[in-house]
Amino acid sequence: MSQITSSRKLDHIRVCLERAVECENHSFDDLSFVHKALPELDWSEIDCSTSFLGRKVSAPIMISAMTGGHTETKEINANLALAAQEIGIAVAVGSQRAALEDPTLEDTFSVVRDCAPGVPIVGNIGAVQLSRHGPEILDRVAEMIEADAVAIHLNYLQECIQPEGEVEACGVLEAIRSAADSSHPLIVKETGAGICYEEASALVKAGIGIIDVAGCGGTSWSAVEAFRAEERGDLESQEIGELFRCWGMPTPASLVECLASGAEAISSGGVRSGLDVARSVALGASVAGVALPLLAAATRGHESVASQLRSYIRALRITMLLTGSASISQLQGAPLLILGRTREILEQRGFNTRRFSVRRELSR
């Protein structure tokens, strides 16, 4: 079993590096800041630092969960962690299930703490594993990497498409509820299909304080599984995977929905620039997570990851200048127009989008 889990990890990385696995809708483009022609702010005054999981970070950006669990992924994790440490931002590891099944793989995850001693690190395990093995596994997951928090991932879209898929979805909320008083802060995250208000409210009621929306608009796990199906000649799964490529709640809409539940929210799924990070912050996210764009960079080396992150931070700072925001809390109040499909979705769902378009008091 552990070998299957481990080699599937490599398969996923190869497909993500070689094929076009993203959903084409980039919903962040529905969000426009109101340009401030007289910002009355010097570049040197801009401070994009913030705090996340109780630690100071240099920017509201995190490297989202991707890998570990196969010897060949250790270097990727090391490069992501070295860049996170250099820049001073949070980093997450991929599902630690493989290392629970085979402890010799633990170093493919613990390398992240070795390389990034000073930043928040987020562990990762599937909700299905939590439900099957109980909350005790969270201690092992957290201790393996000295995690600041553990993310429990939901990925039923992918499970439905992949042949090895585990589609028992009953009892997961109860498992999350019984884990919520664990000694480690917990995050519940999707993996590219988003989380809506009703689910977010149920999670908050179950004791979860932080939700990573991982919405639709970036990496599509349905597309990844479609490509894997194509490679093994499984035409039906390939077609179904393509059919569901853009299934889910787009990230910006999901963010508004999750924040309305009272949760702290991480924006991820299709965050592709520092401008998207700024848009996420203005909607109310604590940090914005990036996965796929950093994967190719991580195969080249940590400097390549760091250089990409610096470019995100530069675009974030430009947006802060052009909205007259000297700090992240000021950016949270910057007027943001919600247009197009995102506005339609939110209005259909009963949310007032106009409250973002005027300078807001920072009551959220």
Ligand X SMILES: Cc1cc2nc3c(=O)[nH]c(=O)nc-3n(C[C@H](O)[C@H](O)[C@H](O)COP(=O)(O)O)c2cc1C
What residues make contact with ligand X under the rule CB under 6 A? 12-13, 16, 64-67, 94-95, 124, 151, 153, 189, 191-192, 214, 218-219, 268-271, 290-292, 295
What is residue 348's three-state secondary structure? Answer: helix
What is residue 327's three-state secondary structure? Answer: strand
Q: Which is nearer to ligand X, 46 or 98 (CB)?
A: 98
Q: How far is the CB of 110 from ligand X (least distance, A)?
A: 16
What is residue 336's three-state secondary structure? Answer: strand
Residue type (1 letter), 210:
I
Q: Specify the pairing of strand 31-33 against strand 336-338.
A: antiparallel
Q: Which is nearer to ligand X, 216 or 306 (CB)?
A: 216
Q: Are 162 and 185 in contact (CB under 8 A)?
A: no
Residue type (1 letter), 314:
R
Q: How far is the CB of 319 from ligand X (least distance, A)?
A: 19
Q: How far is the CB of 107 from ligand X (least distance, A)?
A: 17
Q: Point out the residue whose Cβ comes nearest to ligand X.
A: 218
Q: How far is the CB of 35 from ligand X (least distance, A)?
A: 27
Question: Residue 45 phi/psi, 5° resolution?
Answer: -85, -15
Instruction: Classify residue 41 as exposed, middle or buried by CB count within 10 Å of its CB (0-12, 13-18, 19+).
Output: middle
Q: Which is nearer to ligand X, 27 or 219 (CB)?
A: 219
Question: Residue 92 phi/psi, 5° resolution?
Answer: -115, 155
Q: Which is nearer to ligand X, 64 or 129 (CB)?
A: 64
Q: How far is the CB of 27 from ligand X (least distance, A)?
A: 12
Q: Which is nearer to ligand X, 46 or 193 (CB)?
A: 193
Q: How far is the CB of 116 from ligand X (least distance, A)?
A: 17
How far is 107 from 149, CA to CA, in rounded Å?
A: 18
Q: Which is nearer to ligand X, 90 or 334 (CB)?
A: 90
